[in-house]
Amino acid sequence: MKQPDQVPQSPSVALFVTCLVDVMRPSIGFAAVSLLERAGCQVFVPETQTCCGQPGYNAGDEKSARGIAEQVIEALQGYDYVVVPSGSCAGMIIKHYPDLFADDAAWRARAEDLSVRSWELTSFLVDVMKFRPVGITFDKVISYHDSCSGLRELGIKDQPRSLLAGVDGTKIEESDLAESCCGFGGLFCVKYPDISTAMVDRKIAEVSDGGADVILGGDLGCLMNIAGRLSRQGKSTNVWHVAEVVAGMADQSASICGSHDAQTSAVSAVGKRP
Amino acid sequence: MTDARTHILAKLERVIDRKDAGSADADSRISLHIAGPIPRRGTDETKPEQTERFVREAMLAGADVHELISIEQVPVTVVAYLRAKNLPLNVRVSADGIFENVRWNQEPGLEIENGGVEATDTASLSAAASGVAETGTLVMASSPENPAMYGFVPLLHMVLLPESCIHGSYEDAWIALRQRQGNLAMPRMVNMITGPSRTADIEQTLLMGAHGPQNLMIMIVGGT
Amino acid sequence: MKSSARHFPANAREALADERLQGVLDKFSDGFPVKRANAIARLDEFDELRDAARDIKDHVLANLDTYLKRFESRVHESGGHVHWCRDDQEARTTILSICRAANARTVTKSKSMIGEEIAINDYLADHDIEPVETDLGEYIIQLRQEPPSHIIAPAIHLSKEQVAETFVEKHTGRDPDRTLTDPRVMLDEARAELRQKFLNADVGLTGANMLVAETGSIAIVTNEGNADLTMGLPRVHIALASIEKIVPTLEDASTILRVLARSATGQEMSVYTTFATGPKRTDDLDGPEEFHVLLLDNGRSDLLGTEFQDILRCIRCGSCINHCPVYSTVGGHAYGWVYPGPMGSVLTPALVGIEDAHHLPNASTLCGKCETVCPMHIPLPRMLRSWRVRQVEKNLQSASSRYGLGLWSYLARHPRLYRVLSNCVARALNIMGGHRGKLSRLPLAGGWMSKRDLPAPQGGTFMAQWKNSRSRYL
Ligand code: SF4
């Protein structure tokens, strides 16, 4: 696991928002910004960012993954830190970018420099900024899903739980299957939908048995998979990204796959803050 | 067909990415018998603690263990055990010197036979070369006196283990075995035995006595 | 064994629809992982041992030729024979000629995955020699004429009712109306049937978990004791081993044994670990008169020096399989060949060809669990990905995924265009989602939509919203 160096006074942080959050659920991005600012960071959103290149990389297309990685490395240079609200995209940048350039010393050095500066959101808040939320309430029984890449590539397990422990009213009901894969796997769930569904069903059944009201996690891909399946089954368990809850913004946007009726725009929610 | 050998070795020669010193390195590794990490439970204990651990671990693995003060207690222990297991009082006993002075006729009704094991044998008794405390494992070294099949054919295998032959770790047992063999090769069969035969192949139900013995009974004899 | 790996999706669908199998698999996924965790919790040095075990195998692979030659000369010194075989065909004919020379009519076998790999049973049967599997699980599936579904628990896919039916049907000398519900009774029946086979066999064929270069011994690990009866009772013993099974010394074997059973079944040690060295000696009362070791390459040497070399460290403990969420959903037969689960998805393409096994490396979420439980630190997810790279190089990916990913990568490298398009898509889908906040049908998204809803985007993209809000916000 990464160890933080000396942390500068109000560090500059580039938010790598990830393609999924960008398109599907901007509220996670705004929650991340809000948390980073509360933790004392100066937040920037580099304009030329797109996707981390994981779909191509995991499909074996290293050439295009390298092309995308170069573009991401360019976009994210010059900040004290790069923070990513997703374990798998953070893992891609931190663990796999350096490997992609095994045969190219110059790019490898740049990839490694980026790797050292990059953090997954919850681990950055806890391990680097020593952040604890204040004055946030979320009266729910939570089942936390440890996404595979975050858990096994980056060792993220305690950080989201410690953030949630600082939120009033939360109770975490640990599931035996917290660490087992939800069956998303990027293209896997599209190529092998039956297997993927069986995997997510097992997870959902275990959570329902445990009596949790909501499922939280740190990766939108997994959360969309879980929420999409819950919704298709007509179950009422709500799903949010952990950042939305810790930022106190869960009630400002409908849960994933939830009805938009209650939603106020995420932008105005952020805008309301002084 | 020698070309298969030549072919495979030539290919290996070609594709191996040699990081260390090659054959010299391999030879020295073999002659030095360098041990890997040995669990503390196998190295840090006194002799009595090792015995205690051996007993505990062997029982955890499903063996029955009896601690005897002297070899004279073997016949009565054997008979009591056979009776408890409802087995006939017939035992195939190894010709190991350790049993030389055992007075079997102390126990009327007990039938003792030496020699090779037969399909109809229900119980056997042989002598272990070592016991390893780490996991309660017996090390049986085959010889004309202690045929390997004693440990597999009958339903009950009884083993005599002198307390002095209990070692902390597998490594210590190998050292003892090499000393014992001197210049001789490895015994033909070295059986490490940890508990009685078992299977879980029918719906993961654990059952003892799959093909080998259903019961493994160990007699540890002190002071030898 | 003939591979049906190319039918993985159909095999998997069948497995998912099989309720009985699903019941067995549910039970399976709670079994071994818990036992393994308990065993490891009892041994503080487990991680140190894993590192050491990995290093032993890496050292062996870097000196494989030397160690094989050392092993060979030790076997010769102890009076045994060594047969080198390049491929499955050579292995089969070698075994057959040894059996023929021994006038063998029955061959008892203890479980050997290499035996499955070279399909030796069918071959012997075709040549009028009866092969009899003696591991209880293997015996059951041999009676049913099924392939194994797990490398250490070959009949794990069967319920006890199925075992009972099989015994009633195949154990013909017994009362056909007997009730067979208790596993103990079934075991006793199988034990009695097999005992006779052990005693009558002319040749015993075993695998080998390790080959010890120091002593020329083969090491075999079982819980039933069937391997010992297989090699101890017949006149001829043949051990079948692939070349990477070498370890230098008994000390090295001990290190590997310490991680093997704990990873496999959660036992501290398997019940029987046997080191067999050469044939029966003068004055021995039992043991085989002939001792043969087959050293089989069958594609292993092709992996040395490649990105797949690390799979040659595998000790076949099955831990990666026991912890694999895909395996525990579809079972072992779906994989279509000898080796299922993560290790199989790495090994099978190497041994039967990536063209045939193209699904296997893709049928993984790369969740990484396997690597964390592999006692030999084999980077299985990395190698699954490496197979995908090979597939891309060989143009084996489906056209649709190639086209889709190509387009995606183009867009990802053109941020301006990407920005505009992604915002349009987000807005369009948002409108389509309406108040429901989700979509249930969408062209080109059948894979996802067949079983799940898709959350509707919240409106414009984050980037667009951020740009609009920034002036106010900064
Ligand atoms: S890959 Fe690792 S975990 Fe899987 S069978 Fe081989 S050694 Fe065991």
Residue from C61, C49, C12 nearest B37 by CA:
C49
Identify whether B170 is part of a domain.
Answer: yes
**Distance from the alpha carbon of residue C376 to the mean position of ligand 1, in angstroms:** 7
State the DSSP code for A171: E
Q: What is the pLDDT of residue C467?
A: 87
In B85-96, which positions are buried (b, 16+ CB within 10 angstroms) versus exposed (e)? eebebbbbbbbb
**Shortest Cα–Cα distance, B174 to chain C (Å):** 7
As given in the structure block, the two tokens for residue C414 are 């053109």
Cβ(C354)–Cβ(C3) below 8 Å: no
- Residue C111: inside a domain: yes
Nearest by CB to residue A17, choosing from C13, C453, C462, is C462
Q: Is residue C130 part of a domain?
A: yes
Chain C CB contacts of B136 under 8 Å are 268
Instruction: Please name the residue that has the structure tokens 């980056």.
Output: A154
Flag if A24 and C437 touch (Cβ within 8 Å). no
What is the domain count for chain B? 1
Task: Determine the Cα–Cα distance for residues B188 and B203; give it in Å rounded to an integer.
Answer: 36
Do C226 and C81 reside in the same domain of the chain?
yes
Q: What 3-state class would DSSP assign to A98?
A: helix
Beta bridge partners of B123: B156
CA pair distance A149, A155, nearest whole angstrom: 9
Are chains A and B in contact at 3+ CB pairs closer than 8 Å? no
Domain boundaries, given as residue ranges, for chain A: 12-129+263-269, 141-252
Q: What is the number of structural domains in chain C?
A: 3
Residues C131 and C226 in one domain: yes
Distances (CA, A) of C459 to A251, A263, C433, C445, C456: 17, 11, 10, 20, 8
Q: Which residues contact A251 (CB under 8 A, 6 or more apart)?
A: A262
What is the ipTM score, two decimals?
Answer: 0.96
Residue B59 lies in a domain: yes
User: CA of C181, closest CA in chain A: separation in Å?
Assistant: 30
Whether residue C131 lies inside any domain: the answer is yes
Residue A167 token pair? 């939120």
In a domain, C22, yes or no: no
Q: Which tokens go with C420?
A: 């505009």
Rounded CA separation C142/C152 (Å): 15
Which residues of chain A does C358 touch, with a Cβ-Cβ cutoff of 8 Å?
none
**Single-letter amino acid code for the residue at B100:** E
For A1-26, write each residue's pLDDT tens digit: 677 778 888 999 999 999 999 999 99
Cα distance between residue B27 and residue B54, in whole Å: 34
Query: DSSP secondary structure string, A126-144?
Result: IIIT-----S-B---EEEE
Select from A58, A195, A231 the Cβ nearest to the Cβ of C438.
A231
* Confidence at residue A267, expressed as pLDDT on a 0 to 100 scale: 38
Could you tell me if residue C336 is left (phi over 0), alpha (psi between -120 and 50 degrees) or otherwise beta? left
Instruction: Please state the φ and ψ torsions of residue B160, each to the nearest 5 degrees.
Output: -100, 125
CATH value at residue B47: 3.40.50.10420
A266 pLDDT exceeds 50?
no
Residue B12 in any domain: the answer is: no
**Closest residue to C458, CB basis, from A27, A49, A57:** A27
The separation between the first and the last C-alpha atoms of chain A, rounded to the nearest angstrom, is 36
Q: Report which ligand 1 atom has the smallest distance to the Cα of C315.
A: 7
pLDDT at B19 over 70: no
Interchain proximity C52–B20, CB inside 8 Å: no
Chain A contact set for C362 (CB, 8 A):
187-188, 191-192
- For tokens 């490594």, the residue is B171
CA C282 to chain centre: 40
Alpha-carbon torsion, ordered B112, B113, B116, B118, to 10 deg: -80
Distance, first Cα to last Cα, chain C: 67
pLDDT at C444: 64
Determine the Cα–Cα distance for residues A16 and B55; give it in Å rounded to an integer: 59
| Residue of chain B nearest C215, judged by CA positions | B186
pLDDT at B21: 54
Contacts 24+ apart (CB under 8 A), C390-397: C390/A60, C390/C354, C391/A60, C391/C354, C391/C358, C391/C361, C391/C362, C392/A59, C392/A60, C392/A61, C392/A62, C394/C354, C394/C355, C396/C354, C396/C355, C396/C358, C397/A59, C397/A60
Residues contacting C399, CB < 8 A, separation 6+: none
Residue C374, ligand 1, Cβ within 6 A: yes
Is residue B180 one of the residues assigned to a domain? yes
Give yes or no: residues C122 and C212 share one domain: yes
Give yes or no for residue C120 CB within 6 A of ligand 1.
no
Round to whole Å and give the CA distance between C470 and B164.
81
Distance CA A243, CA A262 (A): 19
Identify the residue whose C-alpha is closest to ligand 1 atom 7.
C314
In a domain, C1, yes or no: no
Task: For residue B116, tell me if it sits in a domain.
Answer: yes
B102-145 per-position pLDDT tens digit:
999 999 999 999 999 999 999 999 999 999 999 999 999 999 99
Give CA–CA dist C407/C409, Å, rounded: 5
The reported pTM is: 0.94
pLDDT band at B95 (very low <50, low <70, confident <90, very high): very high
Among the listed residues A1, B9, B60, the one whose alpha carbon sits nearest the alpha carbon of residue C266: B60
Among C308, C318, C328, C234, smallest CA distance to C270 is for: C318
- Is any ligand 1 atom within 6 A of the Cβ of residue C132? no
- pLDDT of residue A261 exceeding 90, the answer is no
Give the residue ranges of chain C where pLDDT is below 50: 472-474
Give, in degrees to the nearest 5, the angle at Cα B102 between B98 and B219. Answer: 65
What is the rounded average pLDDT of the residues B175-204? 92
Ligand 1 pocket check for C376: Cβ under 6 Å: yes
Among chain A residues, the shortest Cα distance to C450 is held by A193
A177, amino acid identity:
L
Asked if the Cβ–Cβ distance from B210 to C134 is below 8 Å, we say no
Asked, for residue C449, whether it belongs to a domain, the answer is yes
CB C343 near ligand 1, within 6 Å: yes
What are residue C420's phi and psi, to 5 degrees? Answer: -65, -50
In angstroms, the separation between the Cα of residue B211 and the nearest Cα of chain C is 5
Contact A204, A233 (CB under 8 A): yes
- SS3 assignment for C457-471: CCCCCHHHHHHHHHH
Cβ pair A271:C459 closer than 8 A = no
* Residue at C194 is within a domain: yes
Sign of dihedral through CA atoms A10, A16, A17, A22? Answer: positive
Domain ranges, residue B96? 43-221
DSSP-based three-state secondary structure for C162:
helix
Q: Are residues C104 and C227 in the same domain?
A: yes
Q: What is the pLDDT of residue B58?
A: 98
**How many whole angstroms from C309 Cα to the centroid of ligand 1?**
14
Query: Do residues C410 and C389 share a domain?
Result: no
Question: Do residues C408 and A51 lie in contact, with contact meaning Cβ atoms separated by under 8 Å?
Answer: yes
**Could you read off the pLDDT of A93-132 as tens digits, one per residue?**
999 999 999 999 999 999 999 999 999 999 999 999 999 9
Task: Compute and round to an integer the Cα radius of gyration of chain C.
Answer: 26
pLDDT of residue C474: 46
Is domain A141-252 annotated with CATH 3.40.50?
yes
In a domain, C348, yes or no: yes
Q: Which helix (H) or strand (E) holds A33?
A: helix A26-38
Q: Within 10 Å of residue B145's Cβ, how many Cβ atoms? A: 16
Residue C117 to residue C87: CA distance in whole angstroms? 10
Least Cα distance to C218 among C266, C279, C304, C289 occurs for: C279
pLDDT in tens, C99-148: 999 999 999 999 999 999 999 999 999 999 999 999 999 999 999 999 99
**What pLDDT, in 10s, does the model give residues A212-225?**
999 999 999 999 99
Which of C233, C263, C296 is a domain's end point?
Answer: C296
Report whether pLDDT(B32) > 80. Answer: yes
The structure tokens listed for A137 are 């309430």
| Residue in C259, C309, C320 to alter for ligand 1 test, most ligand atoms within 8 A of Cβ | C320
Question: Which domain, by its residues, includes C427?
Answer: 404-473
Strands of A118-120's sheet, edge to edge?
Answer: A42-44, A12-15, A81-84, A118-120
Residue owning the nearest CA to atom 2 of ligand 1: C374
Does B114 contact chain C (CB < 8 Å)?
no
% helix, strand, coil for chain A, step of 5: 50, 10, 40
Whether residues C132 and C186 share a domain: the answer is yes
User: Which atom number of ligand 1 is nearest to the Cα of residue C311?
Assistant: 1
Q: Measured at the alpha carbon of residue C197, what is the angle toward residues C148 and C240, in degrees to the nearest 5?
A: 50
Q: What number of other Cβ atoms are within 10 A of residue C93's Cβ?
A: 13
Q: Can you tell me the distance from the alpha carbon of B73 to that of B68, in angstroms, rounded to the nearest whole number? A: 6
Tell which of B183, B202, B207 to mutate to test the C interface (max C CBs under 10 Å).
Answer: B202
Q: How far is A233 from C433, CA to CA, in rounded Å? A: 18
Query: Nearest chain C Cα to A180, which residue?
Result: C325
* Cβ pair A19:C455 closer than 8 A: no
With a 6 Å cutoff on the Cβ, whether C375 touches ligand 1 is yes
Q: How far apart are CA C22 and CA A106, in angstroms?
A: 51
Nearest to C85 among B4, B13, B40 (CB): B4
What kind and span of H or E run contains C84? Answer: strand C81-85
